[in-house]
Amino acid sequence: MPTDRERSADADPPAAPPSTAPASALAEPTRRVASAAVEPRAVEPPDAAPTAEETGPPQGEPDASAAGADPDANADSPPAASDEAPGETTAGEEEGPPAPTPSAEAAAGVRRSPGVPLTAQLVTLVAIEAIVFFAFLLIEPTPRWLALFGAVVAALAFEGVLRSSVREPFASGADTVPYLFLPTLYALVMPVFVEHAVGGRWVLAAAAALVAGFAAVLVAEVASVRAHTPAHRPARVVAALGAYAVAFALFDLGYLLELDVPGAMAAAAVGSALLGIELLREGEIDPLETMGFAAIVGLVAAESRWTLHFLPLEGELASLALLLVFYVSSGLLHAHLTRQLSARAAGEYAAIAAAGLALVIGARASGIT
């Protein structure tokens, strides 16, 4: 039967023998734990830097992915509720180019427009002048005051047509007077010339041609106001042809009406000067200088008319010679004002003058007066 000592030995296992390891070995794990606590973490290489998607938007800046977000709004403020219906474009969304401003649309409209506005005022003026032309040519005896009445109506009414058709240049201070001389002289001179030069059954055709020419002159004057439209150059050509036609009629009326030399010289000087303003108004100079150059054109025409008094030329041939003088003098001055005068341009004008003079001399030699 086991004794008490044996039962106690079976219940309690034997204790482990005391460690014989040195104290430095026991302290090594403790030092490793302490060194791991204070050891800095290893820095990741640059290529492992977090991306913008991982980090999110920078502090203080709003998330650009939010539609309609205002860049200047506070990032901490909650987004405002939108009252727009689904499918509508918000202020921050851009689905296309920005809408053009009214000034940009106006500028684009000027570039795209043909430059030939047919307004109701212009059509009304043409209709009134048509009545005046037909009445002047068909009523017998001819009411002389109708020519003067038509000229006054053309001058006063066409100014309103210009300001209503082309508002921008004249609203900013541009003057309408240089555009009035050609229509006024046309309405005053051309009916009188047709009355003395055309008769019989051709009067109706001549009256219709007068109305068409007057309408072309008005449209050309309106279209030539804006210098950067496609219709500007053709309009200036039409206006120049109208000015030469009126000049020829004015020179010929001096012979048809049998004016004396001073009267014919005065008519040639005044008419050439006013038509010269029409031809020279494109030069970028002061209006007073334009009038001065136009006065030179009138002086040259008057001296030429005085010279022709001593030459065996009359009627249409003399008027054609005066027209050549008017064309060359105004053309050279226009080339000078527009900085296009060169030896080649002067040679071209001289060639045209020589050809015209040869035509006049040949017609006179063949007996045509």
Instruction: State the number of CA atoms in the 13 A half-sphere of 99 facing the CB.
Output: 3
Predicted TM-score of the model (pTM): 0.67
- What pLDDT, on a 0 to 100 scale, did the predictor assign at position 116? 59
- What pLDDT, on a 0 to 100 scale, did the predictor assign at position 117? 64
- What pLDDT, on a 0 to 100 scale, did the predictor assign at position 78? 46
* Cα–Cα distance list, 69 to 26, 63, 65, 90, 96 (Å): 64, 8, 8, 10, 18
User: Alpha-carbon distance 233 to 272, whole Å?
Assistant: 22
- What pLDDT, on a 0 to 100 scale, did the predictor assign at position 62? 45
- What pLDDT, on a 0 to 100 scale, did the predictor assign at position 70? 46
The CA dihedral of 305, 306, 309, 310, to the nearest 10 degrees, is: -130
- What pLDDT, on a 0 to 100 scale, did the predictor assign at position 168? 74
User: Alpha-carbon distance 327 to 332, whole Å?
Assistant: 8
CA angle, 118 as apex, 114 and 122 as ends, to 5°?
140
User: Alpha-carbon distance 229 to 115, whole Å?
Assistant: 6
User: Alpha-carbon distance 84 to 29, whole Å?
Assistant: 68
- Averaging pLDDT over each range in 109-118, 140-149, 172-181, which range is the top one? 140-149
Closest of 220, 219, 326 to residue 275, by C-alpha: 326
Give tens-digit pLDDT for 252-294.
999 999 999 999 999 999 999 999 999 998 766 778 888 999 9
- What pLDDT, on a 0 to 100 scale, did the predictor assign at position 337? 87
- Rounded to an integer, the average pLDDT of 213-242 is 90
The H or E element that residue 164 is part of is helix 145-165
